[in-house]
Structure 1
Amino acid sequence: MDSAVDFHGRRVMVTGATRGLGRHMVEAFAARGAEVIVVSRKQEACEQVARELQETHGGIAHAHSCHMGSWEAVTDLATDVHSSLGPLDVLVNNAGISPTYDSLTSISEELWDKTLDVNLKGPFRLSALVGAEMVSARGGTIINISSVASIRPAADWLPYSTAKAGLNAMTEGLARGLGPTVRVNGVICGAFLTDIAQGWDESGTQARMKATTALERAADPSEIVGTVLYLSSDLSSYTTGAMIRVDGGRI
């Protein structure tokens, strides 16, 4: 069992990796020997996280900034990483945004496009390019980080819900398109206490979690790690096209 989650000799790229769930993911991969590519919007933040991973775990970590909503930038990222490092073993599409708005009629075209670009267009382009390289290398796995908003949409996060629902559909389609040598799966996340939760009302959040989840609480960010490691490892060798809910039993 321990050897199945040993990532020595494997190259892993995580987007949105400098904070929140992505930060916990790269920490977990680095701790298990992976060569990690840290991707986020700001190069300085990527470099800082890469340094910290190397200092803590003694492995290899790379820093690559990328605007995940830009087709051209994502194309450049895939090209640069492949030309300098070679094919990836694991890609985790974790970067995402969920802009707020006052009402449905106040949603601008810019907000709509930005939300779908980062949450759906970027992951598609990166998965298509990296997935093709994985097929040529005869193996690899892609994990898309989705949200419970994709299956429990509400009016106050509708563009985000729409994008993540598209990501769910894309996951199954890519599993068929890149199989049999490349596996593609997704994680439907519930409420995690990342930095975005700092703006939440604590008592209100507790009441909401008690009313809407079987576990009656929000998740610690570290609780994403087990599922991601499972889907990245040979333990899930017969799992593809799946969407695994890590949402505390959302009702």
Structure 2
Amino acid sequence: MSAPYRGTPFDLAGTLFDLTGKVALVTGGSRGLGAAIGLGLAAAGADIVVASRDLESCQRQADRITERTGRQAMPYAVHVGHWDELPGLVHAAYERFGRIDVLVNNAGMSPTYDALEEVSEALFDKVVGVNLKGPFRLCALVGARMAAGEGGSIVNISSGVGVRPRAGVLPYAAAKAGLNNLTVGLAHTYGPSVRCNAVVCGTFLTDVSRHWDQEAFAARAATFALRRGGQPEEVVGTVLYLASAASSFTTGAMITVDGGQP
């Protein structure tokens, strides 16, 4: 996975992004960015492990992946913030496919609050658990097996607030800042055979965005270079780049995909 790409310029399109024979585990994979990412990686040839808290949602997405791409897809219900549940996920993936070549830590949560002093310890711990503790645990479990085998690629889905925090999402911003730091550390921990990178996402229009104050978002989006929020499919190209041989000399990197947010 991390070996230098040896193809010629004439076969780049055909092989550089090809994931045939690879297996990708995508957390938060049943909806939103995770659903788009799983479909995109499957379209490039990978078999997919769809992981999220709700098994029925995972099964529906797994069926959708197989119907649209012909690739195998395994649903698995897991709470990423629960430390002791994650070894079972990894074991099940290796039991089914015998390998994990790409780990996409996409699962996340960002609850809002009216005032910082109203943030409870339980809420803080839950946000950090899903956005930082879970990815740390999965990276350790999967990264070690990748390094001992044929290598692989870890892609952490981060957020621009991890770099430019906003008042209304400080626990989430702190967790994503930690994820950015973890990304760099993992690149050195498991290199050279395992690469680890982060996609620093801006505002994407998923099912969650339907509940936003649309006028307030429109005013904020007017400050973006592209003047809009992103569609989930617009993150897929960056993840595919980081998952494939196209990024064979890219590790410890933060790639921003935010439509030009100030």
Partner of 1:64: 76
SS in 1 for 2:49: strand
Contact 1:87 1:130 in 2 (8 A): no
Matched, 1:190 2:216: no
Identity %: 50
Q: Which residue does the alignment assign to 1:9?
A: 21
For 1:93-172, list aligned pairs within 5 A: 93-172=105-184
2:43 counterpart residue number: 31
**1:233 maps to what in 2?**
244
Distance 1:37 1:161 in 2: 27
Structure 2 letter corresponding to 1:223: E
2:3 equivalent in structure 1? none
For residues 190-240 of structure 1, the C-alpha deviation after alignment (integer angstroms, 9 at most, x for no partner) is: 0001111101232321221112x2222111111001100000111100000
Residue 221 in structure 1 maps to residue 215 in structure 2: no
Specify the SS of the correspondent of 1:146.
strand
Aligned residue in 1 for 2:102: 90
Partner of 2:254: 243
Which one scores higher on RCO, CA 8 angstroms, separation ≥ 6?
2
User: Aligned letter for 2:229?
Assistant: A
Q: 2:185 is matched by which residue type in structure 1?
A: G
Q: Deviations over 1:23-59 (max 9, x none)?
A: 1011111222211111110111111111121122222
Where 2:103 maps in the other structure, the secondary structure is strand
Q: The residue matched to 1:180 in structure 2 has which SS?
A: coil
Contact 1:12 1:35 in 2 (8 A): yes
Q: TM-score, normalised to structure 2's length?
A: 0.93
Distance 1:24 1:44 in 2: 17
TM-score (norm 1): 0.97
SS at match of 1:124: helix
Displacement of 1:2: 2.9
CA distance in 2, matches of 1:104, 1:198: 24
Residue type matched to 1:93 in 2?
N
SS at match of 1:177: helix
Q: Take 2:19 and 2:31, find their aligned partners in 1: how far apart are those partners?
A: 21
Post-superposition shift, 1:248?
1.2
Secondary structure of the residue that 2:16 maps to in structure 1? Answer: helix
Q: Which runs of 5+ in 1 are unaligned?
A: none
Q: Give the Å deviation of 1:79.
A: 2.3
Equivalent position SS for 1:26 = helix
Deviating more after overlay: 166-175 vs 83-92? 83-92
